[in-house]
Amino acid sequence: MIMKNISVLGSTGSIGTQTLQVVRDNKDIQVAALAAGTRIDELEKQIREFKPQLACVATKEGADELKLLVSDMNVKIVYGSKGLIEAATLDLADMVVTAVVGMMGIVPTIEAIKAHKDIALANKETLVTAGHIIMKLAKENHVCIYPVDSEHSAIFQCLHGENKKELDKILLTASGGPFRGKDIEFLKHVQLKDALKHPNWTMGKKITVDSSTMVNKGLEVIEAQWLFDVPFDKIQVIVQPQSVIHSMVQFVDGSVIAQMGNPDMRLPIQYALYYPNRRTLDIKPLDFYELGQITFEKPNMETFKGLAYAYKAARAGGNVPTIFNAANEYAVRYFLDEKITFLQIYDMIEYAMSTIPFIDNPSIEQILETEQSVYELLSNF
Ligand code: MG
């Protein structure tokens, strides 16, 4: 029996493929639409296995190539940002998994909400830049937003059945990334390959670099602020290097509830797909005897400025989180192409945040304009 129809935006990425793994293992979810960027061959395999009604790729050339590959199948092929919206709003789907990377996730997420689709949110840029618009829109359309990020899923699980008014603090955990404990002198000389080695999680390249700068944790603070309607100064980041506590909440009586488990993204994905139910999952359970201890540290925000900039952006509000995020997206792209050094990621963010004009309560158009101004500014960096 089919329980649910989902569309997966970003189906060939890390979250996308793990979402499809969960679908494959459970056998009672139908895939309505798949959207990918440029990995045409991989998308063809996914189409053959999951038989969606619609598939989207980034470009017209990609769409033409894919059409030939799947000409024996009954699937509509679309492309570009228009195609992505078609995938996000397809009638058949009850839920949209938004696992595209970066700010291109904003508009399709908005359109999906307007079309009354529940959202399994894996694209944190959407809430970071447009949280004030998205959360209101979701409420108006009676749409649920289920977090897929491991920390936000943990917080969501800890809050299940609780009175949100009794929440005092969110304790957002961080692994500290591959450079935890290192100083500025060390960071001056790090190479791309070092930044791509995350100690605990297997993730896409962009988010792995973001973890090494702690920008990822900063984006997560801003995301949590919108998702759980908690002011950013009530969100405390705690470094927990073993990554077994995925986050915690503290209530007004001082009680703390944590969600724990071995790090595997399939757990938060599956929880979002089947909420409020739990399904079995072949993840090795935590062995506390083997684990021995769990340790905690304060994040070093002077060295890993990504987190400090994020708090600054959250405090400023308006379009500043967009400036922070867009500058980081641009800088990480350059870092991945080995055109800038690790520390220049921070320099680019700082430069953009101190240069681009402030806009209060920005509209979607103003958010996208801010993104473009950041890219233009940094092209002359
Ligand atoms: Mg996370």
Query: Band of the pLDDT at 330, cuts 50, 70, 90?
Result: very high
What is the rounded CA–CA span in Å between residue 334 and residue 344? Answer: 10
pLDDT for position 221: 98
In this predicted model, what pLDDT tens digit does every residue of 110-161 receive, in sequence order? 999 999 999 999 999 999 999 999 999 999 999 999 999 999 999 999 999 9
151 C-alpha vs ligand 1 centroid, how far in Å?
Answer: 5
For residue 328, the CA-to-ligand 1 centroid distance in Å is 16
What separation in Å is there between the alpha carbon of 153 and the centre of ligand 1?
Answer: 9
How many angstroms does the Cα of residue 62 sit away from the middle of ligand 1?
Answer: 31
Query: What is the whole-number distance in angstroms between the Cα of residue 149 and the centre of ligand 1?
Result: 5
What mean pLDDT is predicted for residues 21-47?
97
Q: What's residue 102's pLDDT?
A: 85
**What is the band of 198 on the pLDDT scale with cuts at 50, 70, 90?**
confident
Residue range 168-190: mean pLDDT, rounded:
95
- pLDDT average, residue stretch 25-36: 97
Distance of CA 176 from the midpoint of ligand 1 (Å): 11
Average the pLDDT over 185-214 and give the result: 89
What is the 73 CA–ligand 1 centroid distance (Å)? 37
